[in-house]
């Protein structure tokens, strides 16, 4: 940013713009543009089945097979949400009390909460200054003889630098769980994000590229890991296999009063047939959903490229960004008050409210309580420096034209600061 920064005291403020669409009754339409006859048809098929014992429609199996094919992997296991996915993957990898799992501090806290759910200890590695993702060198410095796993996050839709992380995995016998909740159809050196580690974890929460309100999936090509992941999601049932509905137990043995069902500790994390039916419709449109976000991000990028104090998340040429949002860092000489001033001006001019980054996970109250042995500041200096200045512009708009209107408001907002 320029060395002399000030806010104009008498800016010209235009009335707030309608951002949803040109239709005055657009609120409902904007909320439902991601839904069409496919979701309605598949959900109706489940409802018409009447929820019998056992599924006649098997949308869970149909969706898992289609999701695995989309991501060019052997297995997909669905879950009730995208935190349960991480918990189950950790359990399937054998992570437990006394183990350490390396995580980034700059992301949704669920990544680290899943580690705590499994009784392990999250260890926070710092981030790269340009991509905002895990710095592989910081990961290396965090390794101890207790380290069992690493969870790199594809933050905002951009893959972490996975090759050096996987090299550390091979040399130290670590399990790598890619948290790809924000990265659908992103790529790293030509490979799909989520297929680079031992597991890929996805979320279907309503802000994600595809959704059923809440849900998640784990992908892997390891049969043993797939079986253990599914078993953990299904109350530890011994009859569960890597594939949906797989069982080596025949019906005659299953109904016998002496049948023993539970062979390991597990949770009821399974996805419902209704959600799976809805997701199948969403999956059929996933490429279009991701392309819309990339188009919306491009509208913001055209404005940001002309501003020397809004620094976009780096997008190396060998990466394909999925743009869950369009993220920038304010370079304002350390003036933390500028974030609120910028937000207020953007909204005043008619902008759709954007978000700041999450508080660094280890600064959240629960982590201060459960991990008191480590200092609350100074663990990850790059993340601590960057986090207060991050802006996350939304990209989940129906049309690029809506994002272009937001970008115009952004341009006026930038111009009101000198």
Exposure string of 181-210, with b = 16+ CB inside 10 Å and e = fewer, is bbbbbbbbeeebbbbbbbbbbbbbbeebbb
> d(Cα 189, Cα 167) in Å, to the nearest integer?
15
Beta bridge pairs of residue 320: 187
| R_g of the chain, CA atoms, integer Å | 23
Task: Specify the 3-state DSSP secondary structure of 164.
Answer: helix
Exposure string of 99-114, with b = 16+ CB inside 10 Å and e = fewer, is bbbbbbbbbbbbbbbb
DSSP H helical ranges for 12-72: 26-32, 37-49, 59-70
> d(Cα 94, Cα 99) in Å, to the nearest integer?
9
12 CB-contact burial (10 Å; exposed 0-12 / middle 13-18 / buried 19+): exposed
Residue 326 gets the label, from left (phi > 0), alpha (psi -120 to 50) or beta, of: beta
- With contact defined as beta carbons under 8 Å apart, do 348 and 13 qualify? yes
Q: Respond yes or no: is residue 208 known to be catalytic.
A: yes
Structure tokens at 232: 């953990």
Q: From the CB of residue 119, how many other CB atoms can be counted at a distance below 10 Å? A: 13
Catalytic residue, chosen from 16, 44, 146, 208, is 208
61 CB-contact burial (10 Å; exposed 0-12 / middle 13-18 / buried 19+): middle
Go through the chain and tell me how many residues it has. 418
Active site residues: 208
């Amino acid at each position: 940013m320029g060395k002399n920064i000030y806010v104009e005291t008498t800016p010209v403020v235009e009335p707030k713009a309608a951002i949803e669409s040109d239709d005055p009754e657009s609120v409902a339409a904007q909320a439902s543009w991601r839904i069409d006859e496919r979701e309605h048809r598949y959900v109706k098929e489940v409802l018409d089945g009447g929820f019998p014992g056992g599924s006649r429609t098997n949308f869970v199996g149909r969706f898992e097979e289609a999701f695995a094919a989309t991501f060019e992997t052997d297995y997909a296991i669905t879950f009730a949400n995208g935190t349960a996915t991480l918990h189950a993957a950790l359990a399937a990898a054998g992570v437990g009390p006394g183990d350490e799992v390396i995580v980034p501090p700059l992301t949704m806290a669920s990544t680290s909460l899943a580690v705590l759910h499994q009784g392990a200890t999250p260890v926070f590695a710092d981030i790269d200054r340009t991509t905002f993702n895990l710095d592989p060198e910081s990961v290396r410095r965090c390794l101890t003889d207790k380290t069992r796993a690493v969870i790199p996050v594809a933050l905002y839709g951009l893959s972490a630098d996975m090759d050096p992380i996987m090299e550390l995995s091979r040399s130290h016998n670590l399990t790598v769980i890619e948290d790809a909740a924000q990265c659908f159809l992103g790529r790293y050196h030509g490979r799909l994000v989520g297929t680079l580690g031992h597991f890929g974890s996805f979320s279907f929460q309503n802000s994600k590229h595809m959704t059923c309100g809440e849900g998640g999936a784990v992908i892997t090509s390891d049969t043993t890991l797939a079986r253990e992941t599914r078993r953990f999601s299904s109350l530890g049932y011994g009859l569960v296999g890597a594939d949906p509905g797989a069982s080596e137990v025949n019906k005659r043995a299953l109904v016998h009063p002496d049948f023993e069902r539970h062979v390991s500790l597990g949770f009821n994390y399974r996805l419902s047939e209704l959600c799976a039916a809805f997701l199948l419709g969403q999956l059929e449109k996933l490429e279009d959903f991701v392309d819309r976000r990339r188009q919306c991000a491009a509208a913001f990028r055209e404005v940001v490229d002309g501003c020397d104090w809004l620094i976009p998340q780096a997008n190396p040429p060998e990466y394909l960004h999925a743009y869950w949002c369009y993220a920038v860092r304010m370079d304002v000489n350390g003036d933390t008050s500028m974030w609120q001033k910028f937000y207020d001006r953007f909204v005043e001019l008619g902008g759709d409210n954007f978000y700041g980054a999450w508080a660094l996970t280890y600064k959240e109250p629960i982590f201060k309580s459960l991990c008191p042995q480590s200092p609350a500041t100074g663990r990850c200096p790059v993340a601590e420096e960057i986090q207060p200045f991050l802006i996350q512009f939304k990209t989940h708009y129906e049309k690029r034209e809506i994002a272009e209107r937001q970008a115009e408001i952004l341009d006026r907002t930038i111009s009101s600061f000198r």
